[in-house]
Amino acid sequence: MEQTTIRPARESDLQALTSLYNHYVRETPITFDLRPFSVDERRAWFARFGETGRHRLQVSETAAGVNGFASSGGFRPKAAYDTTVETTLYLAPEATGVGLGTRLYAALFESLESEDVRLAVAGITLPNPASIALHERFGFEPVGIFRQVGYKFERYWDVQWVQKELGGS
């Protein structure tokens, strides 16, 4: 695999991030968004992240461009949930299966070490053995399955929720 750099996202990455995410919108049940986004529509999403704080966005990049990202964002909008983050990870199809997801998640969790984050949670559309294995590798534990909670591609999908304690108070 080409030399890959993992770094905080920059606004100049937004086009590539939008294209990568839209692949999953169009082709998979991994996200329950039903229509692709324009770059302008993704600006508000991108603005939620910073180089400090609980909400981070890490990208992986080769000479060919951005090929993956991992993020930590708000779990629910009520203030009592502030120390819980929801994590996500998306890779370009050609970047899967080579350990890049592990590197991105490691960078994301390292960036959160000094932040007041108590818990990380993630929702995994089932079936997704690769995502389950990745989350297990990082110490996430299953906490429940929402049955037939999302409807996409003319069928209902289950979502398994997993969580991991972090260092926050």
Residues 6 or more apart in contact with residue 147 via CB below 8 angstroms: 158
- Cut 0.85: pTM above it: yes
With 0-12 CB in 10 A as exposed, 13-18 as middle and 19+ as buried, what is 35?
A: exposed
pLDDT of residue 119: 97
pLDDT of residue 86: 98
Question: How is the chain split into domains, by residue range?
Answer: 5-165
The CATH class, in words, for 5-165 is: alpha beta
- pLDDT by residue for the chain (169 residues), tens digit each? 579 999 999 999 999 999 999 999 999 999 999 999 999 999 999 999 999 999 999 999 998 899 999 999 999 999 999 999 999 999 999 999 889 999 999 999 999 999 999 999 999 999 999 999 999 999 999 999 999 999 999 999 999 999 999 986 5
pLDDT of residue 169: 59
Going through the chain in order, the beta strands assigned E by DSSP cover 5-8, 56-62, 65-74, 84-91, 119-125, 141-152, 155-165
pLDDT of residue 167: 81
- For 94, list phi and psi in degrees, rounded to 5: -75, -5
64-80 pLDDT, tens digit each: 899 999 999 999 999 99
